[in-house]
Structure 1
Amino acid sequence: MREEIHETLSTTPNFQTELAAQLAELMPEVIADGKVDVEKLTELLDGDAAETSERFGLFWPGKKRALRAAQEPTTATLRPDFEKSKDWDTTKNVFIEGDNLEVLKILQKHYHAKIKMIYIDPPYNTGKDFVYPDNYKEGLDTYLEWTRQVNEEGKKLSTNADTEGRYHSNWLNMMYPRLKLARNLLTEDGVIFVSIDDHEQGQLRRLMDEIFGESNFVAQIVWEKVHTRKNSARQFSVSHDYVLCYARKKMQEPGDGGFQRSLLPRDNTSAYKNPDGDPQGPWKADPIYANNPYDADYVITKPDGTEISRPSGQYWRYSKATIDEAIRTRALIWGSGSSMPMIKRYLADVQDGMVPVTLFSRVFAGDNSSAKSEVKDLFGGKPLFSYPKPTRLIQRLIQIAGVGAGDYVLDFFAGSGSTAHATMALSASDGIFRRSISVQLPEPTLSDSEAASEGYGDIAALSRERISRAGVAIAKNFPGTGVDLGFRAYVLIDTNFAKWKVSSDVDRNQLEQHLFDLRESSSEDGVSADDLLSEILLKQGYSLAEQIAPVDVAGLNLRSVGDGIVLAYLNEHVKPTLEQLRAVTDEDPQRLIVLEDAFQGDDQLKTNLAQLCKSRGIEHWTA
């Protein structure tokens, strides 16, 4: 009956293995003895493969290791934190506390090709302390130790001073695997925006060219972050940062799929009036000549016979045919005497919005000062974040990305929580209800900081509080809109299942002890049913916002997912009877999940359940 029972995978996907499987599907002749024949692959790509090692690209010490870090599977999972959540039962927004490298791997199963827009404001490589666990390179074990989830040895901190020989390499090793994983999450028409300053702009541009492809470069935006000159600057007073924009797949021709930037809404249409009751609607008068040449020269004859030529040094903006059509439809405003006519520009004919430009002024997108003011307004005048981004900047990016109702905006360097705040605020103002996913490392606040004095021990806690307070403010400013102002809180942890924790290089004595331990339990002591279910659902490909409720069936306490689409029995201490399991299958779920240890070694019971599920067309899963 093994083929009738599905087992939940213990880890996230192995990207190396999956890539080889895709190659086997596409080109089976390159697979020999279960391995990729690189020479054969090169032969098949003749003409498209580089013939020399002298090629253009970005190379640095540690690049191969950084790539392996992205490909390495993880057993990590996310534990729901109900107390730190807001509106758990109704919200679709998510806040995750943890190392974003591990979290991005976890998100691959469900959110692959489902994220419309990613915005990140990663740590800038300024030559000061680069305080993250081992420069973000060591994965789950380092994260757990750093956050004292494993032992009490303290947090491992490392710096990245500009005097260090691997100054750029350390930063690239941190960014490379995260961007590789992030690309997988974008929809075909998805887009990523990355804020950066001059220190690593050049390296980041080449890194993203490699990961996303040069052809998917969309724009390099210059954002005016400050408006005051710093006279203490040694060379130039820097007043800008950059935002790099890359598409998952940039649309080349209309209709061929991929990302196409959206137009920005027009902020002011009040100039369009309809004083004469024109049936074509509101209009504004527009000159018919300009400084830029138009290849036409003609004379306009007014109704009173006055002939009008273009002014000296000026040029007609429109062709004679356009002017004649305007005369026919009475869309030309003649004026008196020898005055120059004007043409009506109708609001209905104006493009639905404005084409975005690559220079974002502080008036258009906010600046550092406005960003700090937003935080102060939420925290009683206290500037608890050092370098928040203005919500107006992120809202502009959301509009350009064309993020629609139900689409996801992901920020895996959530920091001050500006992205989640911006997403909620824009949704409330335009009625397009978007969703946000935020990921933030629990980086400790500085002991002498105002944030620490206010009781916020780490940035993740402070970020959650900012999002929560922003929701309260938005509800006051936009009452009754129905916008989602909550979030589900999750925390990165190691797997809840002991059977998944053995590594491939464990010695024989450890393995024997591990197998002995499995006799007692496959799940860790003190783990709740909700913890177990969250991990199982993630590893089976469900979202972090599934509707889950406890239900009782024939005396068994189960969890119902999606209003009964999935039922899960996760109590290893109470063995169900066959009659009870028959009653559960009578509920007719699409999928039934039963904890392996709930059978308590009764293979006959397990087989009978498999038969019941098969007869009813129910998927039977164990974990």
Structure 2
Amino acid sequence: MHTVEPGDPETHSKDLVAENLEQLRKIFPSAFTEGKVDFEALRELLGDAADDGDEKFGLTWFGKRNARRIALKPSTATLLPRPDESLSWDSTQNVMIEGDNLEVLKLLQKSYANQVKLIVIDPPYNTGKDFIYPDSFQDSVQNYLELTGQTGADGTRLSSNSETSGRYHSAWLDMMYPRLFLARQLLSEDGAIFIFIDSTEVANLRLICDEIFGGDCFVIDLIWRKRDGAPNDRTVGSVHDHILVYGKALAPNSTRTLAEERFNLMPRTAKADAQYQVFREPGGPDPRGAFRKIDTTANAKGGRDVASLHYGLTNPHTGEVVYPRVGTCWRHSQEEMERLQADGRLYWGVNGTATTPMRKLYRSEAKDGMTTPSILPDMPFNQHAARELEVLFGTKSIFDTPKPVDLLRLLIRIGSNPGDIVMDFFAGSGSTGEAVLKSNSEGAGDRRFILTQLPEPTRFGDFSTIADITRARLRSSSQAVASTSSTADTGFRSFSLGAGNIVRWDTSRQDFEQQAFEQIDNIREDRAEWDVVFELLLSQGLDLASSVESRVFSGAQVFSTGGGLLFACLPPSGSINTGNSEEIAKGIIAWRDELQPEADVTVFLKDAAFDDDIAKANLVAILEQHESPFVVKSL
């Protein structure tokens, strides 16, 4: 049996530095000396690919090194289950988390690394008046508690990022860099991220995304027109926002990302369908129905001027031999054009006298969707999204610039497929969650969402925090969706960020005897066994939507989750003794045999729950000496 000590994997989120070193060691074992990286040896192994110069292309700012360090620092926090704030807790696969998204992204690494197909975020724009950031990152959980008013300031200063600040852009980048770095780790290899941003930081955001995701993984800068007209209080007014799109990895032997190769077509618009018509032509309408006309020539000066593409083509209606217009050439070979002609796929005009035919593209042969243009067509504005919130909550101005659900549904359709996980860690009012629910209800699959929102205070009496608004919107949209679909998952599990459930030994304290007395039962006083189970679930990399069941064996409650991969016995102090330890062990064994998990099974036991060492040794021995031994760990 292993006793879990501070620093063990169960006590913190994934150690990304250790993981990076392990990957590097697998590729370049000779670049390590006594466990440390030998950079001179690594440079030699990389040859000319290593850049030793001081001047490099990229974006730098005061605080960048610290921002990178923050992203790599493991978290000792946990996520506390909140069934009373949830909807359909036992059956849903959706997750809503209240807390600082920096800590949450770290905590999700073990369970969701390389599993999220689509991330859609609308981060706070750098407006110079409403972006608040912590100056100290010594304890991110403490910062979170201070920021949300759950504890005193304790020396940490919170500053408004005003436009007069010397670190106006740096502060915003400090906030974004570690979050995007961690977000990339969660994306699947064919995953993509869509980031809303305005012109203030779009250039800087492009540069840090190029660094984090790789410049080759940039897909497109989508333009969304967010308002009908320019504001009349200025001479030049912005009416659009950017949506930067990045994939995680390039496809083999391609300049496109894996995400691009699996992107879906957007729905056809009425304007696009209007191009298909039943045109008049000699002999009557084409029996194959409506078509649109495609030019059969190309600009000869644009790299298409090939001698074999200059040839004569006979008009079947007039017998005249026609040639491509001056400065152009045919798009197709002579054989292909004659094939199209024989199949009736060339249009020679109403009277058959056109000097240049057009190729027919039939509506019946067209794709069900259309390529997404870089300027998104016919999308609702911010004002429409604000009206959506007004209808939901009966009040105006909850958010100044919410994103329309239909716009988010389009991005979800393009970037994800049924069964995929969609994430938004700047959830705001929860519009991404609503978009997923509505997409699923209309037969578009069983996508799941993971939302994260900081519980920032609000000025609305019914909702003390923005996280309250997020949950309220999810409940409201769930009711609307449930009325139209009886099969869609319309629930969500609610969690909140908090300090770890298990009190660790504090080496900075001098009152050793008092601390030892306090840790006789090392579970925080305000935490339940249920809370600890979910911390263990996260530590083992299990899904937050995993089913958690409990049974009582000889007076002790035992929890099981992950389909039998994890068991936890965490009863009050002294609950397990020589009289019931054997029955508890047999109960766990029988339950495991019933579930038939396909991997090693870990059992966590609360050390303080044992009445004496004999009871502990007895229970552990039965588990470890079974024909299918358990991995037993003590808390």
Q: TM range, normalised to the smaller chain?
A: 0.7 to 0.9
Note closer, same or farther for the CA distance 1:614–1:271 as it changes in structure 2 (3 Å cut).
farther
1:465 to 451, 468, 472: 472
| One-letter code aligned to 1:76 | A
Residue number in structure 2 paired with 1:492: 497
Residue number in structure 1 paired with 2:439: 426
Deviation at 1:226, TM superposition (A): 1.1
Residue number in structure 2 paired with 1:355: 371
Residue number in structure 1 paired with 2:626: 615
Residue number in structure 2 paired with 1:596: 607
Q: Is the 8 A contact 1:390 1:418 kept in 2?
A: yes
Q: Is the 8 A contact 2:537 2:566 kept in 1?
A: no
Distance of 1:510 and 1:244 partners within structure 2: 53
Note closer, same or farther for the CA distance 1:379–1:349 as it changes in structure 2 (3 Å cut).
same
Distance of 1:517 and 1:3 partners within structure 2: 18
Deviations 1:176-215 (A, max 9, x none): 1111111110101111111111111111111111111111
Q: Is the 8 A contact 1:188 1:257 kept in 2?
A: no
Give the SS at the match of 1:145: helix
Distance of 1:394 and 1:610 partners within structure 2: 55
Deviation at 1:397, TM superposition (A): 1.9
Residue number in structure 2 paired with 1:546: 546
| One-letter code aligned to 1:264 | M
1:414 to 410, 422, 427: 427
Give the SS at the match of 1:460: helix
Note closer, same or farther for the CA distance 1:226–1:154 as it changes in structure 2 (3 Å cut).
farther
Give the SS at the match of 2:432: helix
RMSD: 3.4
Correspondence list, 1:152-231, <5 A: 157-231=158-232
Residue number in structure 2 paired with 1:243: 243
Deviation at 1:117, TM superposition (A): 1.0
| One-letter code aligned to 1:597 | A
Mean alpha-carbon deviation: is it higher for 343-352 or for 430-439?
343-352
Q: Is the 8 A contact 2:298 2:329 kept in 1?
A: yes
2:398 to 384, 397, 400: 384
Determine if the alignment matches structure 1 residue 474 to structure 2 residue 481.
Answer: yes
Deviation at 1:558, TM superposition (A): 2.3
Q: Is the 8 A contact 1:404 1:434 kept in 2?
A: yes
Distance of 1:553 and 1:471 partners within structure 2: 38
Q: Is the 8 A contact 2:4 2:10 kept in 1?
A: no
Q: Is the 8 A contact 1:137 1:173 kept in 2?
A: no
Deviation at 1:306, TM superposition (A): 4.8
Deviation at 1:461, TM superposition (A): 0.5
Residue number in structure 2 paired with 1:73: 74
Deviation at 1:416, TM superposition (A): 1.8
Note closer, same or farther for the CA distance 1:311–1:211 as it changes in structure 2 (3 Å cut).
closer
Q: What are structure 2's unaligned runs of at least 5 residues?
A: none
2:456 to 443, 447, 451: 443
**Could you tell me the TM-score, scaled by structure 2's length?**
0.86
Deviation at 1:613, TM superposition (A): 4.1
Distance of 1:419 and 1:197 partners within structure 2: 19
Q: Is the 8 A contact 2:70 2:137 kept in 1?
A: no
Deviation at 1:464, TM superposition (A): 1.2
1:375 to 359, 379, 389: 389
Distance of 1:213 and 1:291 partners within structure 2: 35
Q: Is the 8 A contact 1:195 1:242 kept in 2?
A: yes
Note closer, same or farther for the CA distance 1:319–1:612 as it changes in structure 2 (3 Å cut).
same
Residue number in structure 1 paired with 2:62: 61
Give the SS at the match of 1:46: helix
Correspondence list, 1:308-387, <5 A: 309=322, 319-331=333-345, 338-340=352-354, 344-347=360-363, 349-361=365-377, 363=378, 365-380=379-394, 382-387=396-401
Deviation at 1:328, TM superposition (A): 3.3
Note closer, same or farther for the CA distance 1:578–1:154 as it changes in structure 2 (3 Å cut).
same
Note closer, same or farther for the CA distance 1:291–1:26 as it changes in structure 2 (3 Å cut).
closer
Q: Is the 8 A contact 2:251 2:257 kept in 1?
A: yes
| One-letter code aligned to 1:284 | F
Determine if the alignment matches structure 1 residue 27 to structure 2 residue 34.
Answer: no
Give the SS at the match of 1:416: coil
Distance of 1:282 and 1:547 partners within structure 2: 54
Residue number in structure 2 paired with 1:449: none
Give the SS at the match of 1:616: coil
Distance of 2:157 and 2:120 partners within structure 1: 28
Give the SS at the match of 2:25: helix
Determine if the alignment matches structure 1 residue 483 to structure 2 residue 473.
Answer: no
Note closer, same or farther for the CA distance 1:179–1:526 as it changes in structure 2 (3 Å cut).
same
Distance of 2:358 and 2:22 partners within structure 1: 66
Give the SS at the match of 1:122: coil
Give the SS at the match of 2:241: strand
Deviation at 1:282, TM superposition (A): 5.5
Q: Is the 8 A contact 1:76 1:102 kept in 2?
A: yes
Note closer, same or farther for the CA distance 1:138–1:159 as it changes in structure 2 (3 Å cut).
farther
**Could you tell me the TM-score, scaled by structure 1's length?**
0.87
Determine if the alignment matches structure 1 residue 528 to structure 2 residue 533.
Answer: no
Note closer, same or farther for the CA distance 1:51–1:290 as it changes in structure 2 (3 Å cut).
closer
| One-letter code aligned to 2:403 | K
Q: Is the 8 A contact 2:297 2:324 kept in 1?
A: no
Note closer, same or farther for the CA distance 1:487–1:50 as it changes in structure 2 (3 Å cut).
same
Q: Is the 8 A contact 2:122 2:197 kept in 1?
A: yes
Q: Is the 8 A contact 2:292 2:363 kept in 1?
A: no
Distance of 2:64 and 2:255 partners within structure 1: 37
Distance of 2:526 and 2:130 partners within structure 1: 38
Identity within the alignment, % = 35
| One-letter code aligned to 1:49 | A
Deviation at 1:605, TM superposition (A): 3.2
Mean alpha-carbon deviation: is it higher for 345-354 or for 140-149?
345-354
Note closer, same or farther for the CA distance 1:38–1:327 as it changes in structure 2 (3 Å cut).
closer
| One-letter code aligned to 1:65 | N
Note closer, same or farther for the CA distance 1:4–1:162 as it changes in structure 2 (3 Å cut).
closer
Give the SS at the match of 2:472: helix
Deviation at 1:333, TM superposition (A): 6.4
Q: Is the 8 A contact 2:623 2:630 kept in 1?
A: no
Note closer, same or farther for the CA distance 1:337–1:310 as it changes in structure 2 (3 Å cut).
farther
Distance of 1:342 and 1:124 partners within structure 2: 48
Distance of 2:15 and 2:230 partners within structure 1: 51
| One-letter code aligned to 2:142 | D
Mean alpha-carbon deviation: is it higher for 306-315 or for 195-204?
306-315
Distance of 1:336 and 1:199 partners within structure 2: 52
2:413 to 399, 419, 436: 399
| One-letter code aligned to 2:66 | R
Note closer, same or farther for the CA distance 1:282–1:438 as it changes in structure 2 (3 Å cut).
farther
